[in-house]
Amino acid sequence: MSQFGYPAIFIAFGALSTVWIVVFYVRGADAPETDKFTSVEERALIVARRGAPDDDDSTMHFYAPPVLAIYITHFAYNYGWYVLLGWIPQYLRLQLHLQMASSGVAAALPYFCGYLGVLFWGYLSDWMIGKGVRVLTVRKLMNGFGLIGSGITLYLLRFSSSSMAAVALLSLTLFLSRGATAGFWINMLDVAPRHAGHLMAVSNTIGTIPGIFGNIVTGYILQASGNWDLVFSIASVILGLGGIVFQVWASDVSQEDGPKVAGNEVVDDRTALLPK
């Protein structure tokens, strides 16, 4: 931005979007059967588990405790996520006195660490399940890192003694937080294998609420007192409570009517393509 001006940001993202469209056009497919990049083993697994929609007469218990745990966890996770997503640039500028135009690396590092976290925690959880660890154990462990772990590091931000330490803690917070993608996010498939799309719709709707009032609360606190410690403490507490709820009530048993399967009873299906 310091070299080419503010409009360069929009031009760069527009160019990247164009590249994505080209890649999607070349890489995309209508179905697994027509995807030339899908291996024979993966294609067979997808087709075998896909089933016929007309044959699905199961019902979903959207208010069962394990499902409610997902809603609460999603709400808590998104509170922390939206606060960090929307206010890190302001924190760097107002609290750490970093100029965004000349400190782009510092501003981008936390988000980049979040991207690395998605890859790391996803691979780690797949590896653990592939080694025979129960699915529920893995989900709870990943979610513990994602909410409780990130809540702790976010709280510790108040004790940072330098800009470098603060950026490092923010980066660690976002890295840990992405463990939740291998926790409550994927747990939707465990508790609702036939209704995961519906469950995601409900949960994601609930998860957008903190994106609205979380930013309002943060803005009010900063306008009234400028107290960043209070902002991050509230987010830390909400993250921690959401993490505890998941530890107590999460399940890997389907909450749909019909045959119940749990944990590693279905490990052959879940781990057929996982790294060994």
Has residue 174 been placed in a domain?
Answer: yes
Indicate whether 149 pLDDT > 80.
yes
Q: What per-residue confidence (pLDDT) applies to 185?
A: 95
> Which residue has 């750490």 as its token pair?
96
Report pLDDT for 135: 95
Shared domain for 95 and 231, answered yes or no, is yes
pLDDT at 273 over 50: no
Predicted confidence at residue 60, as pLDDT, reads: 74
Asked if residue 114 and residue 196 are part of one domain, the reply reads yes
Contact 185, 71 (CB under 8 A): no
As beta bridge partners, residue 60 has 256
> What pLDDT does 256 receive?
80
Burial tier of 40 (Cβ tally within 10 Å: 0-12, 13-18, 19+): exposed
For residue 121, give its domain range. Answer: 65-270
Does some domain include residue 43?
yes
Q: Identify whether 173 is part of a domain.
A: yes
| Percent of the chain scoring above 70 in pLDDT | 87
Residue 271 has pLDDT above 50, yes or no: no
Same-domain status, 77 and 200: yes
In a domain, 276, yes or no: no
At 77-111, the pLDDT tens digits run: 999 999 998 888 888 888 888 776 556 788 889 99
Q: Return the number of other C-beta atoms located less than 10 Å from residue 266's C-beta.
A: 15
Does residue 269 surpass a pLDDT of 60?
Answer: no
Question: Which residues are registered as beta bridge partners of 256?
Answer: 60
- What's the pLDDT tens digit per position in 187-212? 999 999 888 889 999 999 999 999 99
* Dihedral sign from CA coordinates of 261, 267, 268, 270: positive
pLDDT at position 113 over 80: yes
- Domain membership of residue 162 (yes or no) is yes
| Spatial CA neighbour of 219 closest among 83, 110, 92 | 83
pLDDT reported for residue 54: 46
